[in-house]
Amino acid sequence: MSILVIGSVALDTIETPFGKRKDILGGSATYFSYSASFFTGVNLVAVIGDDFPKKHIGLLKSRGINLDGLKVIKNGKTFRWSGSYKYDMNEATTHSTDLNVFETFNPQIPERYKNSEYVLLANIDPDLQLNVLSQVKKPKLIAADSMNLWINTKKPSLMKLLKKIDIFIINEGEARLFTKQPSLIKAGRMILGYGPKHVVVKKGEHGCLLFSKNGFFSAPAYPIEDIFDPTGAGDTFAGGFIGYLAKLNKTHTEHDLRKAIVYGSVMASFNVESFSLERLKKLTDKEIQARYKQFKEFTHIK
């Protein structure tokens, strides 16, 4: 079952202890779509300027990602993000966020996307996320990501969104910011109380926590010796996570969710091995399955 994803398609300028890159392919919807495409079909909704390199379009198309919903603005400038990572690579410092064509984006969902049963609202303005949601006819599973910017500036819209979705994905620092709780366990349970059926708290190199009404799951990260660039790890995680659930295409059990989280973690582990989508471009299904198997072995208690 295909996933409808709305989010950013961007050009990133990134500095890590291992190097610097200017205007490389990035964006939440880009990472999500590419990652999810290993599991299922993807219908992308986003906006770019006509400065966006054609080769990137070709790359997304090569994975079968449907781009009918990718709007190109004539004389527009693509969304740009610039950031850097310190020594421990756990948190990005944002240097600049130029929304550009996203500033006036009014997403129109193509007719053939409107029957999508799986929807991923990647990290963009919660009002845009709500707008998209209102155009989808009968979604079966809706997941959303967000960030500190929206928690700080658009909390009412975010709270409204949380009542309409099944899975909310957020990172550790944002969960603490959102709830003003130092305890992640309390924070996760508190967000669950805001409406979603499940909350995933991402903790970077420390893995993630899944909170459900009647369940709790703690997953480590796949052990990577050299994290080269963590940009997009969360979106790549979401791609594997929701991608696997959409592939199953059935009412998921707690154990389906856990397996989905492991697939998400595995996808993220590949992504952090290089800048942009460089590692994912070379990724094979065999490699995904091998790491999935290893992941289970690394956490197994007899």
Q: Where are the beta strands (DSSP E) in 138-257?
A: 141-145, 167-171, 198-202, 208-212, 215-219
Residue 178 DSSP SS3:
helix
Using CB under 8 A, which residues numbered 255 to 274 contact its own copies?
A: 255, 258-259, 262
Q: What share of the chain is helix, strand, coil (3-state, %, to 5)?
A: 40, 25, 35
Q: Does 298 bind its own copies (CB under 8 A)?
A: yes
Q: Answer yes or no whether residue 199 interacts with its own copies by CB under 8 A.
A: no
Segment near its own copies (CB under 8 A); pick from 42-50, 108-116, 120-128, 253-261: 253-261
Query: CB of 22 within 8 A of CB of 15?
Result: no
Check residue 182 for interaction with its own copies (CB under 8 A): yes
Stretch that binds its own copies, among 39-47, 119-127, 130-138, 211-219 (CB under 8 A): 211-219
Q: How far is the CB of 3 from its own copies (least distance, A)?
A: 23
Contact 36, 264 (CB under 8 A): no
Beta-carbon neighbour count of residue 55 at 10 Å? 8
CA pair distance 140, 9, nearest whole angstrom: 25
Instruction: Enter the DSSP assignment of 105.
Output: -
Length of the chain: 302
Is residue 293 close enough to count as binding its own copies by CB under 8 A? no
Q: Is 111 in the site for its own copies (CB under 8 A)?
A: no
CB of 18 to its own copies, least distance (A): 11
Q: Is 205 in the site for its own copies (CB under 8 A)?
A: yes
Residue from the set 68, 185, 193, 281 that interacts with its own copies by CB under 8 A: 185
* Binder among 89, 143, 147, 158 for its own copies (CB under 8 A): 89
84 binds its own copies (CB under 8 A): no
Least distance (Å) from its own copies to the CB of residue 47? 36
Beta bridge partners of 56: none
Determine if 213 is a binding residue for its own copies (CB under 8 A): no
Task: State how far the Cα of 124 lies from the Cα of 126, in Å rounded to an integer.
Answer: 6
Q: Are 230 and 89 in contact (CB under 8 A)?
A: yes
- Tokens coding 212: 């459900």
Binding segment toward its own copies, per CB under 8 A, in 37-45, 119-127, 212-220, 238-246: 212-220
Greatest Cα-to-Cα distance within the chain, rounded to the nearest angstrom? 60
Closest to its own copies by CB, 142 vs 199, is: 199
Question: How many CA atoms are closer than 13 Å to the CA of 135, on its beta-carbon side?
Answer: 20
Interface with its own copies includes 160 (CB under 8 A)? no
Return the range that interacts with its own copies (CB under 8 A); candidates 46-54, 75-83, 97-105, 181-189. Answer: 181-189
Q: Give, for 159, the enclosing helix (H) or strand (E).
A: helix 155-162
CB of 302 to its own copies, least distance (A): 4
Q: Which residues bind its own copies (CB under 8 A)?
A: 17, 87-89, 176, 182-186, 189, 203, 205-207, 209, 216-221, 223-227, 255, 258-259, 262, 295-296, 298-302
